[in-house]
Amino acid sequence: MKSIIHVKGPSDAGPGERQEMLDICRRVLAQSGVERSGVVRIDVPSRGAEEPGEGGVLRPAVEPIVPALQSGSLFGDRQGIEVLDAHSFQAAEADVIVELLEAADPAAVTVVFLTTGTMPVRLAKAVRSLGEVIEVKKLRERDAAEWLTAEIRDRKLKLTSDAAAAMLQRFGSDVAGLSQALDQLSSGQEISRDDVLARFRNRPDEPMWHYADAVADGNVGEALRRLADFLVHGHPLQLMGFLESDLRRRALAAAAPNLETLAEWLGAQSISFPVQKAWRRRGSTSDSDLQKALIALSRADQLLKTAPEDIHRVTMERLTVALCLWYGGKARRAS
């Protein structure tokens, strides 16, 4: 393994992805022979935060990386450097760090850059040239389910299948939260769904497309649960914007003569996932149901912007049930 590693996470990384990035970082350092006590951690502040120090280039939070890269451990041991939020380096800082990396002794130091954004160009190019990139993909519920199954087995816990499903309902793809929750469960007795739901009250902060997929399938119960989960962390108007974009794609897909035309109308490539998804669903909703959905969205939007907050939730619930009927009705009748 090389001495310079870039752990690249998704831009919308959640707790689960961040934990996986840290786990990779610490595993890399351990495999390089770095003791945990010999790791220098650099938390890079956002690009607009802090003023440069006395040297005029590096900000105080970044300055410790210089002696760490230049001299390594004082006792001759291998030095480890853990750089969090490396995408927040300022351009001038990145230039200094590139020079240090090029001069660093690979036998004396291992440095791991963790990012959920884009590093300055020169630094990113140097890291690719001198080291290697490990990419952490966005975790989905399917990934979390596989992780949970393996973790239950390794911990020798006894969870019913319904209990495991309830764990995913409470935590979504947050494997860090799932891990902490499993720590609280006893290995000596069988855990039921009711046990999980009674013990854990949190709701996952999940992407809106989970809700949209449930609506498209006409699954009222699942859609209402996804709605409740989303509203714990998000605002109804965020969901309205998403639904309006989804309806627009549906309407354009219904009118488009072919996939290429639809992509042109949407201003995207024909191979993009949203375009492909809209095209596959083009016959699932009638023109009259699309018109009903448009009117309902308009009315709901007006209520959310003018009525008291007390009725926002019931407005979204009624809209959800109606959209499940209009979007998923054909699929249910066909089955």
Are 80 and 13 part of one and the same domain? yes
Domain identity same for 216 and 327: yes
Q: Are residues 225 and 157 in the same domain?
A: no
Question: Which SS3 state, helix, strand or coil, does residue 116 take?
Answer: coil
Q: Angle at which helices 161-171 and 175-183 pack, to 10 degrees?
A: 130
Confidence of residue 334 (pLDDT cuts 50, 70, 90): very low
- For the chain, the straight-line distance linking the first and the last C-alpha, in angstroms and rounded, comes to 53
Mean pLDDT calculated for residue range 219-248 = 86
pTM of the model: 0.53
Within this chain, do residues 330 and 216 fall inside the same structural domain, yes or no?
yes
Query: Based on the structure, what is the number of domains in the chain?
Result: 3
Mean pLDDT over 20-46 rounds to 88
pLDDT at 330: 52
Does residue 280 share a domain with residue 263? yes
Of 135, 165, 182, which marks where a domain is finished?
Answer: 135
Q: Are 16 and 122 in contact (CB under 8 A)?
A: no
DSSP 232-285: HHS-HHHHHHHHHHHHHHHHHHHH-SSHHHHHHHHTS-TTSHHHHHHHHTTTSS
User: What confidence score (pLDDT) does residue 71 get?
Assistant: 66
Kindly state whether residue 160 falls inside one of the protein's structural domains: yes
Predicted local distance difference test score (pLDDT) of residue 125: 93
Torsion of CA 258, 243, 220, 143, to 10 degrees: 80
Reply yes or no on whether the pLDDT at 76 is more than 60: no
Please check whether residue 158 lies inside any domain of the structure.
Answer: yes
Vertex 284: Cα angle to 274 and 215 (nearest 5): 70
Where does a domain end: 87, 107, 135? 135
Q: Give the per-residue pLDDT at 19.
A: 80
User: In terms of domains, do 100 and 8 share one?
Assistant: yes
Element holding 150 (H helix, E strand): helix 141-155
What whole-number distance in Å separates Cα of residue 254 and Cα of residue 281?
9
Residues 226 and 321 both lie in one domain: yes
Count of beta carbons in the 10 Å neighbourhood of residue 256: 19
Q: Is residue 186 included in any domain, yes or no?
A: yes
In a domain, 20, yes or no: yes
State whether residue 115 is helix, strand or coil.
strand
Q: 320: which 2 tokens?
A: 């959800």
Computed over every residue of the chain, the mean pLDDT equals 85
297 has a pLDDT exceeding 80: yes
Do the domain assignments include residue 204? no
Domain coverage including residue 174: 141-199
pLDDT tops 80 at residue 206: no
Residue 304 inside a domain? The answer is: yes
- Look at residues 135, 156, 179 and tell me which one is the last residue of a structural domain: 135
Instruction: Tell me the CATH number at 286.
Output: 1.20.272.10
CA distance 24 to 133: 12
Asked if 266 contacts 249 with a C-beta cutoff of 8 angstroms, the reply is yes
- pLDDT of 335 reads 44
82 pLDDT band (50/70/90 cuts)? Answer: very high
Say if residue 29 is in the same domain as residue 85: yes
Reduced to 3 states (helix: H, G, I; strand: E, B; else coil), residue 159 is: strand
Question: Who wins on pLDDT, 203 or 309?
Answer: 309
Check pLDDT > 70 for residue 75: no
Looking at the fold, whether 296 and 316 belong to one and the same domain comes out as yes
Mean pLDDT highest for which of 5-19, 51-65, 100-114, 135-149?
A: 100-114
Whether 111 contacts 101, CB under 8 Å: yes
The answer to whether the CB of 218 falls within 8 A of the CB of 327 is yes
